[in-house]
Structure 1
Amino acid sequence: MSAEQVQTKWGQFIPLVTVFFFWGFVAASNDILIPVFKKAFDLTQGQSQLVSVAFYVAYTVGSIIYMIISYLTKGDLINRIGYKNSLALGLVISALGTLLFYPAANTGSFPLMLSGLFIVALGFSLQQTVANPLAIALGPITTGSQRLTLAGGINNLGTTIGPLIVSFAIFGSVTSGNSEMSIESVKVPYLVLGAAFLLVAILLKFSSLPDKPQAVVETESDKTSARSSALKYPQLILGMIAIFVYVGVEVSTASNLPAYMENNLGFKTQDIAPFISLYWASLMIGRWTGAVEAFTNDMNLQKILRFIAPYLAFGVFLGVNKFMNHDLTPFYVYGLIILVLIIADMASKGNPARMLLIFSVLGIVALLTGMATDGMVSVYAFTSVGLFCSTLWPCIFTLAISGLGKHTSQGSSFLIMMIMGGGIVSWLQGAVSDATNIHFSYIVGVVCFAYLVFYAWRVSGILRNQGIDFDKKVSGGH
């Protein structure tokens, strides 16, 4: 590893994380659109989840298009046009998708709305294929997972803000008492978002981001990349399923929460946004906690920051909701649940496989608790799933592409393809809800977490057989 890779390249990392913010903003905003579209277009719970299906299946379609183009041109598309140019191109594609919200809102067309979301996510697919391995590569491998966790924390700043802004655009101020929804009002925030996409595309084009990260160049001739394809690595194959079920449980838990709160607890649609915001803020809380190691090697300072970071993120959530004039009283007790996250993070000792195992078990406990209780206790339990999903993406991604070398971008594309789990699992939970009830439907998420427990156990042995031991890497980094 070259000398400049000893520390994180913050000058390149900071502009990169802007795209992570956008992914979160749009993904979490979908949870507000789902109940709005359900009422406006008179949809069943299963049909309303087509919002998630259209958005997340686009990731798969985008990855397939990427692989077809790479095959037809006999070369990896991203390696040829460069990582930076690929990011800019992805942002332009997403901007084109936001333009469809204007005619869709004016005509009240549900299919056109879905088409706009599909194209936005199509651009996100290319962005994610580039940005995730790039975040890992902009510094030492020992803190690659933590760096991706930090980028995820910025992503969840977007998920915290997104539902509040979109809800405000549709319903106006909570204090106004407005309960009328306007489909036409959806177009304004998305057109503004499209303009932001184009602005960031220009900024990234002229940033110092590398066209090809040095870490990938260095490993192209490495013995660990001697296999002919990324699909020859079992950690990737099993990791693809893990990404599918992880994104599935993360998205479906949130996207079905509005229906649960409306049907079982009597909440009004416009009053649910702060709780959706809390769910996605929970991912931010967990990711800020998990990113501590990316900032310092000082073990004592890390212990202090592990307590400061999550409550700082929780403070951001409270501050944003205070600014939006929401009642904060229901949320203070959540500070106690955050202690469980801190203890679990410390127990993982920075090992992504161990963290995946511990947090997946806690996810199962949270869902079963929510299913076994009623009232606000169940809401807090379902919301805490966000805490335990928070570091799973970087854990799975890091474990799945470890040792792939020159096949890293190909492996990344396969993983991004599996983001479609967010749509498929959400639809499946919606269908189970229609067949039984919304409360029982969360059993789907329990099954997803169960597979993640299996993957965490299995991948450790697979990587050790390839000479990759994260306990040694982490201890060597200190």
Structure 2
Amino acid sequence: MAGSFSQSTVQSTVQQGNQSYSFALTSMTFLFFIMGFITCLNDILIPHLKNVFSLNYTQAMLIQFCFFGAYFVVSYPAGALVKKVGYKWALVTSLVVSAIGCLLFIPAASYRVYGLFLGALFILASGVTTLQVAVNPYVTMLGNPNTASVRLTLNQAFNSLGTTIAPWFGALLILGAATASTQGLSDAQVHLQEANAVKFPYLLLAIAFALLAAIVAALRLPDLREKQKEEALEEAAVTGSAWQFRHLVLGAVGIFVYVGAEVSIGSFLVNFISDSHIANLPESQAAHYVSYYWGGAMVGRFIGSAVMRYISAGKVLAFNALAAIVLLIVTLLGEGHLAMWAVLAVGLFNSIMFPTIFSLAVHGLGKHTAQGSGILCMAIVGGALVPVAMGKAADIFGIHMAFALPIICYLYIAFYGRKGHVPQH
């Protein structure tokens, strides 16, 4: 919904109350930040719960399965909720659900039941998914429609900032607390201390979500339901299907394997870096290096946006995919700090992949663009399935060789950037 409001609509919304949109935009910016933050915190939660419950890699990857599975299960109901109650109250609902999910980590830690952690994570992810569905259109309406894309780009940068900071937060408050002095404690007491390490950070996050819900509920923001009704009538008049476009279908596969590869690599970084053949660091220290992976993606977005002014998006996508493949081969064949920095550098080349695949896939869809966008969003479920497959590979072949699986994903992305994105007439 790219800011197509009339001047009269904008004027009428500006007159609603005396509150400045700058405060509302600040709130929305923090929503993007916390979405990135909570998603990346899973990379710290995985090695932590793996130790607490003595899980194998496949079992540990159920964390990502539950989190990203919510995108597949909840996206459609979230869209229906937005249509029924409007964007503002859908945002409030999503924040409340997220707060409840965070609070459920406390009884899960007290009872030390892995299934309760997964249930709490799915509820949290359901709130985050609804937040994703509602927040983007809200940002487009908070200000001049002509600068809506600028506001969205800025907010996406704060999303990346969240993914960069989260590993430091998790290393300090989760892994650091879990590895605090255990002298004189029994094994049962040690495991209880490790499980309890998640209580404080997720309580803080629950408070943050609750405060944001109260702030958004108090803000006097425009109601877009009339606009939604107009769009629904337009969609009802559309004939045919987005599925008829080959480059869209191939793009959906591209989104699936990209999100799967990106999430898989991030999920294994702490365990990989702490391996005796790589950096041999305690997990609490290894977690700090995860920030370089996600921080590289943030930096790469700025570089990529400049490069694509002169080189076609498809070529840049193919180049980045091939660079990621080379780095993963170095990771597979190397050891020590060479392998560590090679896999961390993959984040730099991941940077432009999602938005580039998305834009190439919806190019030329015309009246089918909305349906095509929905199909691509559903493909994010790759973040649920590919990590489980990589976990199984790690259990069978070892964590080092498991990094061969993302290579297959990037090979497909290279194909899509080179040929697959070209529309067939």
Same fold, TM-score > 0.5, yes or no: yes
Residue 452 of structure 1 aligns with which residue? 413
Q: Is 1:149–1:394's contact at 8 Å kept on the other side of the alignment?
A: no
Residue 186 of structure 2 aligns with which residue? none
Alignment counterpart, residue 269 of structure 1, candidates 261, 279, 283: 283
**Structure 1 residues 111 and 357, CA gap change in structure 2 (3 angstroms):** same
Residue 104 of structure 2 aligns with which residue? 100
Q: Is 1:85–1:211's contact at 8 Å kept on the other side of the alignment?
A: no
Residue 379 of structure 1 aligns with which residue? 340
Residue 128 of structure 1 aligns with which residue? 132
Residue 347 of structure 1 aligns with which residue? 307
Distance in 2 separating the partners of 1:213 and 1:460: 35
Distance in 2 separating the partners of 1:372 and 1:140: 51
Q: CA deviation at 1:29?
A: 1.3
Alignment counterpart, residue 63 of structure 1, candidates 50, 72, 75: 75
1:446-474, CA deviations, whole angstroms, 9 ceiling, x for partnerless residues?
A: 111122222234464329x6xxxxxxxxx
User: Structure 2 counterpart of 1:121, which letter?
Assistant: A
**Structure 1 residues 176 and 90, CA gap change in structure 2 (3 angstroms):** closer
Distance in 2 separating the partners of 1:455 and 1:47: 32
Q: CA deviation at 1:219?
A: 7.6
Residue 170 of structure 1 aligns with which residue? 174
Percentage identity across paired residues of the two chains: 35
User: Structure 2 counterpart of 1:82, which letter?
Assistant: G
User: Aligned runs of 1:214-293 on 2, under 5 Å?
Assistant: 226-263=238-275, 264-265=277-278, 266-287=280-301, 289=302
Q: CA deviation at 1:83?
A: 2.8
**Cα RMSD (Å):** 3.8
Q: What secondary structure sits across from 1:165 in the alignment?
A: helix
How many matched pairs?
399
Q: Is 1:91–1:127's contact at 8 Å kept on the other side of the alignment?
A: yes
Residue 25 of structure 1 aligns with which residue? 37
1:434 lines up with 2:398 in the alignment: no
Residue 161 of structure 1 aligns with which residue? 165
Residue 187 of structure 2 aligns with which residue? none
Q: Is 2:178–2:195's contact at 8 Å kept on the other side of the alignment?
A: no
Residue 194 of structure 1 aligns with which residue? 206
Q: Is 2:250–2:421's contact at 8 Å kept on the other side of the alignment?
A: no
Distance in 2 separating the partners of 1:445 and 1:131: 30
Q: CA deviation at 1:275?
A: 0.6
Residue 86 of structure 1 aligns with which residue? 90
**Structure 1 residues 455 and 39, CA gap change in structure 2 (3 angstroms):** same
Q: Is 2:38–2:166's contact at 8 Å kept on the other side of the alignment?
A: yes
Q: Is 1:38–1:48's contact at 8 Å kept on the other side of the alignment?
A: yes
Q: CA deviation at 1:152?
A: 2.8
Q: CA deviation at 1:274?
A: 0.9
1:116 lines up with 2:120 in the alignment: yes
Q: CA deviation at 1:150?
A: 3.6
**Structure 1 residues 155 and 84, CA gap change in structure 2 (3 angstroms):** same
Structure 2: gaps (5+ residues): 15-20, 184-189
Structure 1: gaps (5+ residues): 71-76, 290-341, 466-478
Distance in 2 separating the partners of 1:408 and 1:116: 34
Q: CA deviation at 1:230?
A: 4.5
**Structure 1 residues 379 and 459, CA gap change in structure 2 (3 angstroms):** same
Distance in 1 separating the partners of 2:317 and 2:35: 22
